[in-house]
Structure 1
Amino acid sequence: MAHDPDADWSLPGWLYTDPEYFAVETERVIRPSWQIVCHQNDVANPGDFHTLDYIGESVIVMRGDDAVLRAFANVCRHRAMRLVEGPNGCAKKLVCPYHAWTYETDGRLSGVPMRRDYPALELEQNGLVPVDLELWRGFVFVRLEGDGPSVAEMMAPYDSEIAPYRFEDMQTISPLRLRERAVNWKNVGDNYSDNLHIPVAHDGLTRLFGKSYAIAAQPWVDKMSGRIVDRASDNPWERFYQAHLPHAPHLPEDNQRLWLYFKLWPNMAFDLYADQIDFMQWLPLTPTTCVLREMAFALPDDRREMKLVRYANGRINRVVNAEDTWLIERVQQGMASQSYTAGPIGTSEVCLRSFARKIRERIPEARLHRAPAAGWSQR
């Protein structure tokens, strides 16, 4: 296979600011991709639902009276009213707050006031519009359109490493958190998979991992990892975590002090610790803004030391997140500069190379170092 000369260059800056490109990317990258909604234990009972709002769409994941999980567009078939508000809830039926059209938990339209007033209406043809749903190791994903690989297929190269963490049995331990950021969504993902900035910008992670931080890239998933060193940190929260992390009986010995990170195409990541699992998703809002959607999960564990260690974990990563936010906001500002086109990318930056390749496959114009003339997407 011939070498792709663009493989040695990062994605160009205009892809992080241009409105026309953003619209194309939304259609070709985000709409056809899987997006996490929640854990199956968050929708354990009939009528339980969770929602996901992104790129102008709202999706409901709901447990039916028959115990089956389904996903629907959160849109009434009558006048397009949103049926439910908020991130989660429970309902015996979904009743439209506009005109009281009523849907069952399996999406069937079952009630229409003044039904005889609608000569063209067929109830069985006007149920909620279904959305693709996949349940992978206890986590619920949806996809607006497309027929690409499943989540299970994408994660297959690392499935044996993930299996001991018992994702299926986990419970949510922190409420859903949304945080807007003044950056293009790709800047979040680029930074997440960037290994070279760790020793430069993250003193805490460097103290915790020493020189053990490593990265790898499979076709659809990036893997990052670092092993907690024995040398006591001079930071009190890091030192507490090192000293008091309790044994996790469900994990092999080699994973007890291992931090694992998996980034799933195109905009989701799981942080695996012995004490808990964090999830983060970066959803595009505009060409230069996005929202971080975060949750945390863990196996039930009432040990006091486990609760304290989870708190220490949060304090450590709060600092890391603040450092990353400072970095990506300034990168975003640099992407808007006329002086920047694309930067050379190292052969060791395998994760960034993998992501850029997939973007270029879907949008050939992403190879251009300068933005083409307006209207290019219509020609």
Structure 2
Amino acid sequence: MTIISDPLEGWSLPAWTYDDPDFFRAEQERVFAPSWQVVCHISDIPARGDWHTLEYLGESIIVVRGDDDAVRAFTNVCRHRGSRIVDGASGCAKKLVCPYHAWTYDLDGRLSGVPQKSDYPGLDTGKHGLTPVDMEIWRGFIFVRLVSEGPSVADMMAPYEDQVAPYRFEELTALGRVTLRPRTVNWKNVADNYSDGLHIPVAHPGLTRLFGRSYGVEAETHVDRMWGDLIERPSANWSERLYQTLLPPVPHLPEAAQKRWLYFKLWPNVAFDIYPDQVDFMQFLPVSPTETLIREISYVLPDDRREMKAARYLNWRINRQVNAEDTQLIARVQDGMASRSFSIGPLGQSEVCLRAFCRQMRALIPQAREEQRPTPGWSRT
């Protein structure tokens, strides 16, 4: 049988897809609505009535621990007039009460209170509970999605379960609070940069001092994996050198993980930076064709050793600089893509993560195969 290769294999997505309103609209429906998004960790809602929210694609999702200790996810929308029910990122409540007309919902989503109920003859309260949302708890992290389509998080991460298991994700607790960092770039530029290994020795001198030539990348169907192993040679930078020196042994990790920084990006925009000392969660939420909200927080296991506390602080210092460097990089790319001289660019054989990403985007949105911007309005037809 003759295998016909795709002529676009090995080429980037066209520049117009990084600022086009129609493409962004198509992404919302075909890429993000069926994709899994992290809301929080189970340790963030330890008690009955604890809740967390996530806002994206114009939706507000609430995950709440019920009186039966079960965790559930719903749209944060009253079934009466569509009002948002809770405000803010987190809280605790015995019941969920709409601030508009006081329709009241139990923590399992059932409609349990309707003021002036006689005004609604024939209202079946059993059919007007909060609208449930697909939810999956994977190793303690609570994921939701708006459309029931595609593999589970567990299936996506199956190739790497043995690597993740020793880090005891289920026992993690938050270190600090969620940080929100707006960026005036398309979300794909953030995702591309995260999975790009070629820029590490060029644009991240700190990581190069830490990893030497050990940085690697690989791509599975739904997950990119990146990694770097800390080298023995002391860094010339004091934060990096102290981190190399003070990072203590972690008894529950295998020898190969003691000095490894491990990164996973789950399709399309959820990332875990896994260190011996902590786990950083990050996601790149699309806001508009040229705006992205980076949402991140660190999680840790209990460890009162002074060396571990110092290592976590130094990790933050090192990665603060890495984030500043990445912020400049993605801004330069977003600006450059606006040039009429650039359309698509070649991807090297080693750029396996970017090749896989482009392949998947073209499969979901065939217009990404067109080098020039289509006539406006195509996403509505």
Which TM class, normalised by the smaller chain length?
over 0.9
Q: Does 1:77 align with 2:79?
A: yes
Per-residue deviation, 1:121: 1.9
Deviation by residue 1:272-298 (Cα, 9 ceiling, x = unmatched) = 100000010000000000100001101
The one of 188, 196, 199 equivalent to 1:197 is: 199
Residue of structure 2 aligned with 1:113, choices 112, 115, 119: 115
CA distance in 1, matches of 2:193, 2:149: 28
How far apart are 1:356 and its partner, in Å? 0.7
Matches within 5 A, 1:139-218: 139-218=141-220
Q: 1:57 and 1:326 mapped to 2: Cα distance?
A: 30
* Aligned-partner SS, 1:327: helix
Q: Tell me the residue number matched to 1:265.
A: 267
For the pair 1:256 / 2:264, whether they are aligned, the reply is no
> Offset at 1:376?
2.0
1:52 and 2:76 are equivalent in the alignment: no
Aligned pair count reads 379
Displacement, 1:374? 1.5
SS at structure 1 position matched to 2:9? helix
**Residue deviations 1:294-326, cap 9 Å, x none?**
011011111111111100000000000000000
Q: Which residue of 2 aligns with 1:66?
A: 68
Correspondence 1:209-358 to 2 at 5 A: 209-358=211-360
2-structure distance, mates of 1:147, 1:28: 10
C-alpha distance in structure 1 between counterparts of 2:227 and 2:67, whole Å: 42
Q: Which runs of 5+ in 2 are unaligned?
A: none
Q: Deviations over 1:162-197 (max 9, x none)?
A: 000000011111201111000000100000000110
* Preserved CA contact (<8 Å) 2:134 2:148: no
Matches of 1:51 and 1:347, distance apart in 2: 40
Amino acid across the alignment from 1:209: F
Amino acid at match of 2:348: G
Q: Which amino acid aligns with 2:243?
A: Y
User: Does 4-13 or 307-316 show the bigger shift?
Assistant: 4-13
Structure 1 CA distance for aligned equivalents of residues 148 and 136 of structure 2: 13
Matched AA of 2:61? V
For residues 76-100 of structure 1, give each alpha carbon's deviation from its aligned partner in whole angstroms, at most 9, with x where no partner exists.
Answer: 0111111111111111000011111
Which one of the candidate residues 24, 27, 39 is aligned to 1:25?
Answer: 27
Percent identity, aligned pairs only? 62
Instruction: Spell out, residue by residue over 1:136-186, the C-alpha distance to the aligned partner (whole angstroms, 9 max, x if none).
Output: 011100000132000000000011000000000111112011110000001
Q: Give ranges in structure 1 of 5+ residues lacking alignment.
A: none
Paired with 1:164 and 1:61, the residues of 2 have a C-alpha distance of 27
Deviations 1:58-85 (A, max 9, x none): 0000011011110000000111111111
Asked whether 1:96 is paired with 2:84, we answer no
Aligned residue for 2:39? Answer: 37
Alignment root-mean-square deviation, CA: 0.8
Residues in 1 aligned to 2:265 and 2:130: alpha-carbon distance in whole angstroms:
32
CA distance in 2, matches of 1:278, 1:378: 38
Partner of 2:372: 370
Aligned position for 2:363: 361
**Aligned-partner SS, 1:314:** helix
Code of the residue aligned with 2:259 in structure 1: it is: R
- Any runs of at least 4 consecutive aligned residues in structure 1 with deviations exceeding 6 A, and if so which? none
Matched residues in 2 for 1:131 and 1:143: separation? 7
The normalised TM-score by structure 2 is 0.98
Report the AA paired with residue 355 of structure 1.
Answer: F
Displacement after TM superposition at 1:2 (Å): 2.3
Q: 1:120 deviation in Å?
A: 4.2
Alpha-carbon distance in structure 2 between the residues aligned to 1:85 and 1:227: 43
Aligned to 1:129: 131
Question: CA shift at 1:340, angstroms?
Answer: 1.2
Q: Give the partner amino acid of 1:4.
A: D
State the shift of 1:330 in Å: 1.1
* Paired residue secondary structure (2:8): helix
Q: Determine the C-alpha separation between the residues in 2 that align with 1:179 and 1:85.
A: 20
Question: How many angstroms does 1:377 deviate by?
Answer: 2.4
Q: Aligned-pair distance for 1:254? A: 1.1
Alpha-carbon distance, 1:3 to partner: 1.5
Counterpart CA distance in 2 for 1:368 and 1:374 is 13
What does the per-residue CA deviation read over 1:27-82, in whole Å, with 9 as the maximum and x for residues that have no partner?
10001100011111111211011100001000000011011110000000111111
Distance in 1 between residues matched to 2:378 and 2:104, nearest whole Å? 44
Aligned counterparts of 1:377 and 1:47: Cα–Cα separation in 2: 41
Letter in 1 for 2:312: R
Verify: 1:6 aligned to 2:13, yes or no. Answer: no
